[in-house]
Structure 1
Amino acid sequence: MELRAAAAPDVLRDLADPQAHGHRSGLLVADHLAGRLQLVVTSSMRQEVTRLTSQSERLLIEVIDSYPEVHADRAEVTSTRDRILKEVRSQHPGYPDTPQEHDALDHVAHAAAAGLNVFLTWDTDLIAMLGPAVARVTGMVLMSPDHAVVHLDELANAESFLKEEVEGGELDREHADSPLDAELAAFVARHAGERRDELEERVHRLRNAGHTVELLHLDDGTAVALYAVVPDGEVWRVPLLRLADHRLADTLARHLLWSLRRRARAAGVALLDVSEPYLSRRVVQAADFESMTHADGHWYAPVVDVCGSSRDVAAAAARSLSLAGLGAPPLLAPGVSAHAAARLEQAWWPAKIIDSELPCFVVPIRTAFAFELFGYPDGMTQRDTQLSLGREHVYYHSARNSVLTAPARILWLATGKGHGSGHFFGTSKLDGLMVDTPRRLYEALSYYGVFGLKAVIGAANGQPTAEALRLSNTEVFTHPVSVRRYEAMRSRLADGPSTFFSARRLNPRLFAEIYDTGTRSSANA
């Protein structure tokens, strides 16, 4: 698919006199872009240039004559200009203030009215001033030419570059494009003395090297995170990782590291290496909470995708750590204590040490609560942002005859009626248990859960106390496992509970088979 993009006068002047700016716009006419990018000029731009008479401007006229001309209805241009101007003046009442600003506004309005989707310019002030307003009003993107390749890839592979809703909440991840120039200020590491132009240069170097720079936005358009991932064989390197100062910054820091680990796992990567030199205090704290390893200015997270024996898990962990030049972990033997296994599974996620003393339990949960806490089943409604981004959750049930102990692994079974019920859909790490009156539990833990006080009282099932499960590291299966399939597994292993009216202990071997089926199987589960 060929992209048509309007070239601003500064880009056209580069093409008329390539040496003037170090051939910076030459990438737009590179051979490999033939058939993928078509530069066009607007009729208003041509009219402006043809009035010029100097030798350099005659060269510019020759360049313009080599590109197709696009036209727009005069009334539509005026209407588009007025709508853009109204949007811009809500933030900058005095715009436009100079003849150059008037001309730039006219060129942008004409391109948008002609139905173009991209306007190319090196003028970062113009991008910052008009870019957000133009995108909101017309959908056209103002971008610098070195971002053009990113936009071409977007068109060639539209699905992977569309805004992606993260965790069913109000957070969107997208490949950073031209609006980034207007948003960089929120990510400058002022605590380390960094200047905006230094950060801008880092971002441009990463892009020019073909690496992806991503932005996380809230639904209101606020940019809250900026980062880059550089694949390097079995390692994902993260040389850029910034958070904006926001009320959710602490939650976002842990969520972002967790998300990177999950994506690395999905890509078959064995090690995540965060090498950002100006990590904020929040991210450092989050990396410590996530049990990442700090060495020589890097934070490492081994991605040990093994659900098996202590020997197999330790061997895979040693291999991952060797990619960072770190020493091998201690040898593990069967019977690792529950607490030690929980710590190792946290540090080496998604590792599961099946022959350890860490117990496994099945906990039934109604689909409505499963969605609010974990996003299963997907597509119901939009979830609470704090819950969707949070790494820790709380679930309540009756304390009567509870068999749960902590730490442990929880296997979730969706119950009730409708879509998603009757399936084992995910697993969590059980970090702790609290037993108290419903009111005291609610007052202490409501920040983490979806239950109102009335629901916590109901979870106590008529008893004076309820039990709160403190949870983390929740994985939702890509292939939820039906109860019918579970029955076949249980029959084959001659072990496992047959009913789940309340929490039940589960044989680790059966847990491993369900987990493996839910996370790896492409068959219908």
Structure 2
Amino acid sequence: MSKDIRTAAAEDGFQSHQDTLVALVLDACADAASITDLAAQAGALAGFDTPELPTSMPASAAYAVERAWWPAKITDAELPSFLVPIWPLFASDLFEFSPSLLPRNDRLGISRQHVYYRAARSAGERVPARILWYASSDKNRTVQQVIACSRLDDTVVDQGRALHARFQHLGVWERRHIDKAANTDGLARALLFSDTEILPRPISLSRLRALADEHRHSLRLQSISKIPPQLFSALYREGHIAR
């Protein structure tokens, strides 16, 4: 492999081992100690050591580990989580979480990173962070389910035309959609996110509300909102319970 490919692989969590490249894939949502143990077990199979993760990891460190060991989720890290509503039409086009008569854009299918737009005003978004996607209702369809989980990489505020020109290959909104979401100055916000995981078991609105009540959290489903780490963990695990 070329030097550029090896460099890119290293950024994605691969490491050189016995003349090859190896990466860990840890399918778990647990605290740092448990993730450390799982990583050690997986690393032992390949014959290399893995680091011990500290508790209360800073957001930037947890973000890097979750990227390298995807889809691992470290529940006691200082990585914020947000619930983001999305219309079913755009969720279907962006994530292809349900069958469609129209084929998905190839560029979206092969891309690791995607974009979604919203109003320019801040709703408390911080990066890095995690996103849980709530597919709501539109004029054609009612879903009302938490359907996917992503990693929030960045937010960019700019004129709608500039955002569309820069990120149109990563999203499904047309320029008119961005302009409609923009404020009176024409500014909108782009959410750049990556490594989206479609939940094997979508979480219904009734179950979402029940879990939010259990964790004493008041839901806001009309716009992006921060959720506590305990609720994120409960929702993520709920989305992976076998049917």
Aligned AA for 2:242? S
Structure 2 counterpart of 1:388, from 68, 84, 109: 109
Aligned AA for 2:226? R
CA contact (8 A) 1:377 1:419 kept: no
- SS of alignment partner, residue 402 of structure 1: coil
Sequence identity, in percent?
33
Partner of 1:491: 213
CA contact (8 A) 1:367 1:377 kept: no
CA contact (8 A) 1:377 1:420 kept: no
- What is the deviation of 1:281? 6.5
CA contact (8 A) 1:398 1:463 kept: no
Structure 1 counterpart of 2:82, from 343, 347, 361: 361
- What is the deviation of 1:483? 1.0
Q: Distance in 1 between matches of 2:142 and 2:234?
A: 20
Q: Deviations over 1:252-297 (max 9, x none)?
A: xxxxxxxxxxxxxxxxxxxxxxxxxxx4677545523422122222
Q: Distance in 2 between matches of 1:437 and 1:419?
A: 30
Residues 1:404 and 2:132 are matched in the alignment: no
CA contact (8 A) 2:157 2:189 kept: yes
Partner of 2:91: 370
Counterparts in 2 of 1:420 and 1:343: CA distance versus 1, 3 Å? farther
Query: TM-score when scaled to structure 1?
Result: 0.44
Structure 2: which 5+ runs fail to align? none
Q: Distance in 2 between matches of 1:518 and 1:355?
A: 19
Between structure 1 and structure 2, the one with the greater Rg is 1
- What is the deviation of 1:309? 0.7
Residues 1:290 and 2:12 are matched in the alignment: yes
Q: Distance in 1 between matches of 2:117 and 2:184?
A: 13
Q: Distance in 2 between matches of 1:482 and 1:461?
A: 32
Q: Distance in 1 between matches of 2:201 and 2:108?
A: 23
Partner of 1:459: 181
Partner of 2:233: 512
Structure 2 counterpart of 1:435, from 136, 157, 172: 157
Name the structure where strand makes up a greater proportion of residues: 2
Aligned AA for 2:23? A
- SS of alignment partner, residue 421 of structure 1: strand
Q: Distance in 1 between matches of 2:31 and 2:118?
A: 32
- What is the deviation of 1:333? 2.6
Q: Distance in 1 between matches of 2:58 and 2:204?
A: 31
Q: Distance in 2 between matches of 1:497 and 1:378?
A: 32
Query: TM-score when scaled to structure 2?
Result: 0.92
Counterparts in 2 of 1:315 and 1:463: CA distance versus 1, 3 Å? farther
Partner of 1:447: 169
- SS of alignment partner, residue 447 of structure 1: helix
Q: How does 1:168-187 map to 2 (within 5 A)?
A: none
Residues 1:500 and 2:191 are matched in the alignment: no
Partner of 2:242: 522
CA contact (8 A) 2:92 2:100 kept: no
Residues 1:481 and 2:194 are matched in the alignment: no
Q: Distance in 2 between matches of 1:282 and 1:375?
A: 31
Partner of 2:22: 300
Q: How many residues of Structure 1 are paired with residues of Structure 2 in the alignment?
A: 242
Q: Distance in 2 between matches of 1:319 and 1:419?
A: 45
Q: Distance in 1 between matches of 2:122 and 2:70?
A: 31
Q: Distance in 1 between matches of 2:208 and 2:61?
A: 29
Structure 1 counterpart of 2:62, from 341, 349, 366: 341
Q: Deviations over 1:347-382 (max 9, x none)?
A: 111110111110000011111111111112233421
Aligned AA for 1:458? K
Residues 1:422 and 2:144 are matched in the alignment: yes
Structure 1: which 5+ runs fail to align? 1-278
Name the structure where helix makes up a greater proportion of residues: 1
Q: Distance in 2 between matches of 1:452 and 1:294?
A: 42
- What is the deviation of 1:334? 2.1
- SS of alignment partner, residue 333 of structure 1: coil
- SS of alignment partner, residue 446 of structure 1: helix
